[in-house]
């Protein structure tokens, strides 16, 4: 039986048994993620009708929740939490807590 080559001088077995990459640590921990979700669920800054990813990024950095993050990173984080800036049914009612 011949050995299947995955990469140059790399066998299939070594490709399947790779160690986790050490440089791939999460940039957003649970505490920061909770603060960002709370921020998104609240009202956008005065003068804005809705949150945008770039507006959210600027606010996260301004509030020092994270030192830096890209709008793409925020998109991926929000997608993992099943929360989207464009969804009308994000699980959060904009009228929650208001007396009618």
8, part of any domain: no
Find all residues with CB under 8 Å of 66, minimum gap 6, and list them: 27, 28, 32, 60
13, part of any domain: no
47, part of any domain: yes
54, part of any domain: yes
Backbone angles phi, psi at 19, to 5 degrees: -80, 155
Write the pLDDT tens digit of every residue in 60-100: 999 999 999 999 999 988 888 887 666 555 444 444 444 43
Q: Residue 22's pLDDT is what? A: 67
Write the pLDDT tens digit of every residue in 24-52: 666 788 899 999 999 999 999 999 999 99
**Selection from 1, 4, 9, 86 nearest residue 40 by Cα:** 86
Question: Residue 75: which domain range?
Answer: 30-80
Q: Can you give the pTM of this predicted structure? A: 0.61
Q: Residue 19's pLDDT is what? A: 72
48, part of any domain: yes
71, part of any domain: yes
19, part of any domain: no
d(CA 43, CA 54): 15
d(CA 31, CA 95): 25
68, part of any domain: yes
């Amino acid at each position: 039986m011949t050995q299947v080559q995955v990469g140059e001088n790399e066998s299939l077995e070594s490709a399947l048994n790779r160690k986790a990459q050490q440089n791939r640590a999460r940039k957003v921990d649970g505490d920061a993620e909770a603060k960002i979700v709370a921020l998104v669920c609240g009202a956008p800054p005065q003068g804005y009708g809705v949150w945008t990813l770039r507006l959210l990024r600027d606010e996260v950095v301004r509030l020092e929740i994270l030192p830096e993050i890209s709008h793409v990173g925020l998109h991926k984080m929000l997608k993992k939490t099943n929360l989207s800036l464009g969804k009308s049914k994000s699980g959060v009612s904009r009228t929650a807590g208001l007396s009618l």
